[in-house]
């Protein structure tokens, strides 16, 4: 029973490029959350999705950031025209519908040069 799988684990992009981060939730989990973490800091909520629906995107920047969780395939967090300030660890977590337990992936570390 694989846990939450995130890839890539490390991603390097130059300013202006696009970054795509993928998250496959645990089997049976239909809720996906994306969080961002800067070194030595807590996690900042970005977006919460269920299959094919964005439930809460109040933590997402209004521009350049988007997320999806299609009927088939992983959830994707997309950052367009990356800037150095986007450098961070991005964590995905999943949960069973209505549950109050999050299972986290190992994170994707984005570095923008």
Least Å distance, CB 81 to another protein, is 27
Q: Is residue 56 within the footprint of another protein (CB under 8 A)?
A: yes
Q: Which two tokens stand for residue 59?
A: 């933590």
- Would you say 79 or 92 has its CB closer to another protein? 92
CA 53 to CA 76: how far, in whole Å? 13
Residues in region 22-51 near another protein by CB under 8 A: 31, 33, 35, 40-45, 48
Contact letters (x/-) for another protein, 72-111, by CB under 8 A? Answer: -------------------x-x-x--x-xxxxxxxx----
Can you tell me the distance from the alpha carbon of 51 to that of 73, in angstroms, rounded to the nearest whole number?
10
Q: Which residues of 59-94 are buried (b: 16+ CB within 10 A; e: fewer)?
A: ebeeeebebbbeeeebbebebeebeeebbbbbbbbb
- What are the residues binding another protein (CB under 8 A)? 4, 31, 33, 35, 40-45, 48, 55-56, 58, 91, 93, 95, 98, 100-107
């Amino acid at each position: 029973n694989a846990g939450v799988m995130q890839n890539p684990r490390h991603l390097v992009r130059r300013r202006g490029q696009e970054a795509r981060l993928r998250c496959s939730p645990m089997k049976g989990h239909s809720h996906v959350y994306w969080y961002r973490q800067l070194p030595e800091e807590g996690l900042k909520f970005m977006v919460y999705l269920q299959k094919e629906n964005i439930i809460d995107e109040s933590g997402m920047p209004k521009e350049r950031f988007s997320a999806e969780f299609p009927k088939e395939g992983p959830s994707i967090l997309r950052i367009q025209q990356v800037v150095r300030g986007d450098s961070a660890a991005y964590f995905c977590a999943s949960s069973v519908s209505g549950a109050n337990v999050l299972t986290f992936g190992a994170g994707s570390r984005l570095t923008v040069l």
